[in-house]
Amino acid sequence: MKAYTRLINYGFTILSIIILFLASGCGVTRGIRKDQTIVRKITLKGIDKQYTLAAVNYVDKEQQPNNWLNLQFYYTFSNHGKRDIGEAPRILDSSLVEFSRLQIERFLRLKGYLKAKVTNEVVVKKQKAELIFIANEGPLFHIRKVQDSIQDEKLRAIYRANRLKFSHIQPGKPFDQDSLNYDRDQIYQLMRHNGYYDFSRQYITFEPDSSFSSSIADVKMIIDNPPGKKEHSQFHINNTLITIYKSSGRLGRNNPTDTIQVDSQFRFVDYSHKFKPLAVTNYIFQHKGDMYDVESQNLTTSRLSELNVFRNVPNPSYTKTPDSTNRLNSKIEIVPLKHMTDRIEGEFIFNDGRYGFNVGNTFTDRNLFKGAEILQVKLNWSVLFDNSDSNLGTSAIQNQDARLGVSLIYPRIISPFNFPTLGKYGVPHTTFSSTFQLFFQKGLVSRKSFINSLTYDWAETTQKLHTLTPINIEYSEGVIDANAKAQLEASNRYSYVYLIGRKIFTSGSQYTYQFNSNKLYTLSNFNYFRGTIDVGGNTLYLLSSLLNTPRDSLGQRTIFGQTFAQYVKLETDFRVYKHIEGERILVFRINPGIGLPYGNSSQMIFEKNFYVGGANDIRAWLPRTLGPGLFSRSTYGTGEAADKLRNSLKYLDQFGEIKIVGNIEYRYSIISNFFGSKLNGAVFTDFGNIWRYNNNQNINGAFDFSKIFQSTAIGIGTGLRFDLSFFVFRLDAAFKLKDPQFEGSEQWVLTKHANELFRAGSFKENYRNTYGDNYSFMQLNFGIGLPF
């Protein structure tokens, strides 16, 4: 396995070197004829700084310099353009340069520089061209006065009542064509929002009256009436026909169905025979007699899509009634997803002699009770092997984790109380779930747990999401290996015996609030926040106090003969996304948390403690192998007995009640076309740790503010993201820079022992002798999706 480790390490290093070599720009002119010139640089002069980046986009795409790496991939892998990989070289073309000059000049005039003139120069050296565009912008024209001319009185009243809410055309502002286009679109949407189904943008014109001598412009906005009419017509909703096809998209003529008249508005035809009418009508926001509203139309399409039971939900179509009542009949035609699906997933974990796998199977039954309910059955099995001592087969299994989960999701709020349909900003859900888990740690413990919960989630706005779990009942039980128990007790580690071997249950509630989760995959500037509070045991404590139930040997109250936990746990995740330009973005994240046992508990439930490491926080460490604080696993001592104890507690003794994790990640584009995907990159720094309240069983593991930097771990790394549109495959290589388990300057392991990064040495040998384990500077993380 060590040979495989070195192979993967060397492979990743070679891949990085290849990418860096290709990115170096060597041979940018290879592959072109001697009479051709490749465009390598664009220079803009005389253009206001706020418009420089936008002006570059008006240079024809075929005259914009290649991304060096894209170009090298084209030369290396495309076979002279026969394969769609990378970018073909951008060859200088005088006609396209002239076209680009005119486009930049037009762009400046649209921005209010009505007298703008642009000239160009081309500088060629060694078959490499620099395009220079020189602008004489002239004065910036400003708006002096804004008027309107609208013959339709109703339409004029609507416009004047709302203009100040959206208009970018204001006296004193630059005369900008983009502002005119923006106002035209906003007026169009406003009228479609107020019943004007037939209204189009062509009815709207702007007449500017410019004075070139004083650089000012008066703007008149005109809305014409339809030809031959005195006013625009407002429409109202009449009848709606809902048609559901088979999942194949066919009508199912060999399987006829009846048309159901649901009420005075809805008629329902279901060729799939899988749906009740209410599954669809609950999320149609256009009702008979309502004024036509394009927002209600779009809302209907969005919510029906979000039910996750339909494959294709086009916008409703409309036909006017044959009379003169200005009513609209609508049709909604949708195709369902397959009723039942099964998905198998897996991942592989590898790190310095330890490897493992995680396989899962998810069965989904969409539309279980014909009301768009979703049943999911998930089976997951994780195994971690330890072959550091050349063990083979089942004897090499370090731990196993098996889970069976069942969840039933309703697309509405199910409650004794009469809640309205909260679907304006998203489909609300009620989820009933049960999970059974079996965990086995070799030579130490086997644990089983059973969790049942009821959860509601709904959207207050497009930005604000709420998740409430009013009922969460958990039961867990651990059985410690007899030899391990004796060894723990002999070393006075009673806390571990109590924590991982006890039988306990609790009931609690959880609440999570999220802000801006809808922007997580956008290229924009925004802040994201997620806050969670988890409270357990209060109801049981009150009940046991009222009933005066007996206490156990430790003085803790019991109910139904079982000890229960009482605690509160808080966690937040705050991120700042800063879009720099193009596809470059900088992300800062801080993720603190704290758990407090109280009342009937002196310690947190084992499963409720925090741990760090893994692919989504401090990536240079495996999960559960960092902290708490300055704790070092060398405190178990040396010798065979110490190594056995240390090995038994592996992945179980590094937890804490306090967590602070931070990440800084810079993301950027590498290759726009990499074998059918986009190849993006990232460099990152991860920092943080977990801590205990006190040094109980974890020497130097307690939180001490004066030692917070000393006890903070720091990892650095780089990664590749293969964006396939429907998902992102991620490969990160993270390196331990500062390891708090060591003392003083020895914590800076990467700088102190860089010569042992990919080979053995005295540091790794000493670590092996002291800790009975191998030390790995680098951790490879394979994952699906972005880390945060």
Are residues 730 and 785 in contact, defined by beta-carbon separation less than 8 angstroms?
yes
In percent, the amount of the chain with pLDDT more than 70 equals 91
Token duo for residue 568 = 């509160």
For 133-147, what is the mean pLDDT? 93
What's the token pair of residue 346?
């897996």
**pLDDT surpassing 80 at residue 390:** no
Query: For 3-41, what is each residue's pLDDT tens digit?
Result: 444 444 444 444 444 444 444 444 556 667 888 899 999
In this predicted structure, the answer to whether residue 222 has a pLDDT above a threshold of 90 is yes
Task: Name 410's bridge partners.
Answer: 430
Q: 241: buried, middle or exposed (CB in 10 Å: 19+, 13-18, 0-12)? A: middle
Average pLDDT on 525-538 reads: 96
Is 147 a residue whose pLDDT tops 80? yes
Six-digit token string for 412: 């509405």
Phi, psi dihedrals of residue 411, rounded to the nearest 5°: -85, 50
Residue at 61: amino acid letter: K
Question: What is the Cα–Cα distance from 631 to 658, expressed in whole angstroms?
Answer: 14
pLDDT at 394: 59
Which amino acid would we find at residue 64? Q
The β-bridge relationship of strands 236-244 and 266-270 is parallel
The SS3 assignment for 783 reads strand
60-69: buried (b, 16+ CB within 10 Å) or exposed (e) per residue?
beebbbbbbb
* CA 475/CA 452 separation, integer angstroms: 9
* pLDDT, average across residues 362-386: 91
Kind and range of the H or E run holding 5: helix 2-23
Q: What is the pLDDT of residue 352?
A: 55
Give every CB contact of residue 331 below 8 A, 6+ residues apart in sequence. 240, 241, 243, 316, 317, 318, 319
> 392 Cβ partners below 8 Å, 6+ apart?
none
The contacts of residue 372 (CB under 8 Å, 6+ apart) are 275, 279, 307, 309, 366, 411
- pLDDT score, position 421: 65
Query: What is the chain's percent helix, strand, coil content, to nearest 5?
Result: 25, 40, 35
CA distance 45 to 58: 14
Kindly indicate the confidence band of residue 481, based on its pLDDT and cuts at 50, 70 and 90.
Answer: confident
Q: Exposure string (b/e) for 692-726, b if CB count within 10 Å is 16 or more?
A: bbeeebbebbbbeeeeeeebbbbbbbbbbbbbeee
Among 73-87, 123-137, 177-191, 225-239, whose mean pLDDT is lowest? 73-87
Nearest 5°: the CA angle 150, 154, 160 is 60
Positive or negative: CA dihedral 368, 369, 373, 375 = negative
Rounded distance, CA 147 to CA 496, Å? 78
Mean of per-residue pLDDT scores for the chain: 87
| DSSP secondary structure, 423-453, as one string | -SSS--EEEEEEEEEEEEETTTEEEEEEEEE
What's the mean pLDDT in 332-340? 92
DSSP 226: P
In this prediction, residue 284 carries a pLDDT of 93
| Closest to 90 (Cα-Cα) out of 58, 45, 131, 137 | 131
**pLDDT of 319 strictly over 90:** yes
Distance CA 534, CA 610 (A): 13
Structure tokens at 516: 């801006």
- Joined tokens for residue 471: 């009922």
Across 481-495, average pLDDT:
77
Query: 563, 499 in Cβ contact below 8 A?
Result: no
Q: Kindly report the number of other CB atoms within 10 A of residue 775's CB atom.
A: 18
pTM equals 0.82
Structure tokens at 81: 């353009």
How are strands ordered across the β-sheet holding 117-125? 38-45, 128-136, 117-125
The answer to whether 263 and 287 have CB atoms below 8 angstroms apart is no
- The mean pLDDT of 642-654, rounded to a whole number, is 82
Instruction: Tell me the mean pLDDT in the region 435-449.
Output: 88
Helix spans in 453-577 (H): 482-490, 494-501, 538-547
Over residues 708-741, the pLDDT tens digits come to 999 999 999 999 998 887 778 888 999 999 999 9
Reported as a single tens digit per residue, the pLDDT across 239-269 is 999 999 988 876 655 666 778 999 999 999 9
* Cβ contact 620:778 at 8 Å: yes
Q: Give the number of other Cβ atoms within 10 Å of residue 242's Cβ.
A: 25
What's the whole-number mean pLDDT along residues 41-64?
92
- Contacts of residue 194, Cβ cutoff 8 Å, sequence gap at least 6: 158, 234, 291, 293
> Which token pair is 506?
């609790």
Dist. CA 141–CA 138, nearest whole Å: 9
DSSP code of 460? S
What is residue 496's predicted lDDT score, i.e. its pLDDT? 75
Whether the Cβ atoms of residue 449 and residue 474 lie closer than 8 Å to each other: yes
Structure token pair of residue 566: 């009482």
User: How does pLDDT run across 666-685, given as a tens digit for each residue?
Assistant: 999 888 777 777 889 999 99
